[in-house]
Amino acid sequence: MDLTPRPETISPKRRRWMPIIVLSLVGIGGVIVVTQFLSSAIDYYCNVDEVGVRSGCDTANRLRVQGTVEQGSLAKSDNTTEFKLVFNGKSLDVVYSGDPGGVFQECISVVAHGRLVNGVLESNRIEVKHSNEYEAKNKDRLENSGSAACSQVQG
Amino acid sequence: MKASQVNTGVSLKMSQSSQKFSSTGTQATRVIGVLAIVVMAWVVISGLVFTPADVVQGESVRIMYVHVPSAWIAYLAFIVTAIASSFYIFAKRHSLGFDRVAGASAEVGVMFMAITLITGSLWGRLTWGEFWQWDPRLTTTAFLFVTYIGYLAVRRLDGSIEQRARRSGVIALLAVLEIPLVHFSVVFWRSLHQRATILDPNGDVKMDGLMLFTLFSGVVAFTLVFAWLVLHRQRTMLLSDLSNERGLDNAILARQSENASN
């Protein structure tokens, strides 16, 4: 039996680069698939102006709607919190059963979970989506505006 | 090779190693350790006492001084794992030292990632109102965490040290590709998680001065802790590898003795 080592069909240099090339192609392919083709499936919410318009934001389904709580629209009673959600020039009335609590306030971005009934979003979950701005608390400023988020928006 | 020769070789190797590593600490690790304690003490004091509350988030913003540095250092740890693994795989001399640095860095990275997830969850409860949501940033971060737990599990599989280094090295090179996906998940998709503040692509950092300074101090403190842990851990890994090697040599000796007596 001939046990002499067979000649290399792939050069060692080429063999060393093959894993890098394969890994890079897999990585690039994965990123393209995830960012280009799966966006609508992965996006966490619909914006107010996309309700009933964008794919995945059908009014017959349970929705997650993102917008800003309009200044002056917030009204709280014993069991419900009502406010207007605005985004990109469109608005949506929201009725939430309970008090969202936490840092919920006017002028802050929120994601409201619920169903559309007669054009009003009946929500049972509110998630506050805080901004990427961090500013020191200033008591004088708070007294003037009534909402910290509104004072931040107004500068 | 005779049994006595093998035995002498292993004993010599172990005694040299034990002399070299009577402790896993060195002058450098002691300096790093002291610096880490000093900077960390400053971060704790500044984060809890000196820095102001945030205008919207109030006192809960203080979690940021732990959450953000731990996330960044976890990324750093996984990148170090990938670089060390690539040195092992692609360098002509496959030095196991690189594999040990890769493994140590991944272990520390998983620890920091766990801190990121826990502190993020607490912060989320205080601001969003939820401990957890399957939004793009949180989901990809959890996926990254699980991937590196898998990496550590692969390192524990049966096989030689070289097999361990090869298998885990390939996984490390694949897993590191997840980091850009995690970091840019808030850009690619709509997420409950905020967009980047410090690493804002426009360079427009909107953060109070002392908050920013404390955050950077946190990054420095966590980096020092990372370096200290990795240096110690890769040395304990070396001792563990040597110990395993000695166990194997002893088993061969026992088998040879059995054959000789038969």
Contact of B55 with B70, CB cutoff 8 Å: no
CB contact under 8 A, A136 and B194: no
Ordered by where they begin, the domains of chain A are 46-154 (2.40.50.140)
| Probe site for chain A from B141, B190, B210, B216 (most A CB atoms < 10 A) | B190
CB contact under 8 A, A152 and B55: yes
Contact of B222 with B75, CB cutoff 8 Å: no
pLDDT tens, B42-83? Answer: 999 999 999 999 988 889 999 999 999 999 999 999 999 999
Contact of B61 with B53, CB cutoff 8 Å: yes
Mean predicted confidence (pLDDT) in B130-147: 90
Q: How far is the alpha carbon of B227 from chain A, nearest alpha carbon, in Å?
A: 28
Contact of A109 with A128, CB cutoff 8 Å: yes
CB contact under 8 A, A44 and B189: yes
> What is the rounded CA–CA span in Å between residue A149 and residue B162?
57
CB contact under 8 A, A42 and B194: no
pTM of the predicted model, to two decimals?
Answer: 0.80
> What is the rounded CA–CA span in Å between residue B94 and residue B18?
24
CB contact under 8 A, A131 and B61: no
Give the residue from chain A lying closest to B57, CA to CA.
Answer: A103
A interface residues, B as partner, C-beta within 8 Å: 16, 19-20, 23, 26-27, 30-31, 34-35, 39, 42-45, 47, 66, 100-105, 108, 111, 126-138, 141-142, 148-149, 151-152
Q: Check residue B79 and give its pLDDT.
A: 98
Res. B226: pLDDT tops 80: yes
Give the residue from chain B lying closest to A153, CA to CA.
Answer: B56
Q: Confirm or reject contact between B97 and chain A (CB < 8 A).
A: no
Interface of B with A in 59-78 (CB under 8 A): 60-61, 64
Query: Considering only CB atoms, which chain B residues are within 8 Å of A68?
Result: none
CB contact under 8 A, B55 and A131: no
ipTM confidence score: 0.71
Contact of A102 with A128, CB cutoff 8 Å: yes
The upper half-sphere exposure of residue B12, i.e. CA atoms within 13 Å in the direction of its Cβ, equals: 6
Interface of B with A in 102-131 (CB under 8 A): 126-130
Interface of B with A in 5-64 (CB under 8 A): 52-58, 60-61, 64
Q: How confident is the model at residue A112 (pLDDT cuts 50, 70, 90)?
A: very high
Q: Confirm or reject contact between B169 and chain A (CB < 8 A).
A: no
| Probe site for chain A from B128, B130, B132, B204 (most A CB atoms < 10 A) | B128
Task: Report the residue count for chain A.
Answer: 155
Burial of B241 (0-12, 13-18, 19+ CB in 10 A): middle
CB contact under 8 A, A131 and B170: no
Nearest to A92 by CA among A51, A142, A140: A51
Contact of B241 with B96, CB cutoff 8 Å: yes
Res. B224: pLDDT tops 90: yes
> What is the rounded CA–CA span in Å between residue B34 and residue B56?
36
List, in sequence order, every residue forming a beta bridge with A84; answer none if it has no partner.
A93
Domain boundaries, chain B: 26-241
Res. B163: pLDDT tops 50: yes
DSSP secondary structure letters along B25-83: --HHHHHHHHHHHHHHHHHHHIIIIISPPBTTTBGGGGGHHHHHHHHHHHHHHHHHHHH
- In sequence order, which residues have a C-beta less than 8 Å from that of residue B144 and are 6 or more positions away? B78, B113, B175, B178, B179, B182
Local structure of B201: helix, strand or coil: coil
| Probe site for chain A from B55, B88, B183 (most A CB atoms < 10 A) | B55
CB contact under 8 A, B191 and A44: yes
> What is the rounded CA–CA span in Å between residue B43 and residue B66?
9
Query: Who wins on pLDDT, B169 or B127?
Result: B169
Res. B169: pLDDT tops 70: yes
Nearest-by-Cβ selection for B174 from A23, A35, A47: A23
Q: How confident is the model at residue A61 (pLDDT cuts 50, 70, 90)?
A: confident
Local structure of B146: helix, strand or coil: helix
Query: Who wins on pLDDT, A30 or B256?
Result: B256
Sign of the alpha-carbon torsion through A52, A57, A58, A61: negative
Output b/e per residue, A119-131; b: 16+ Cβ within 10 A. Answer: eebbbebbbbbbb
The CATH T-level fold of domain B26-241 is Four Helix Bundle (Hemerythrin (Met), subunit A) (1.20.120)
| Probe site for chain B from A23, A38, A42 (most B CB atoms < 10 A) | A42
Give the residue from chain A lying closest to B170, CA to CA.
Answer: A19
Q: Check residue B215 and give its pLDDT.
A: 95
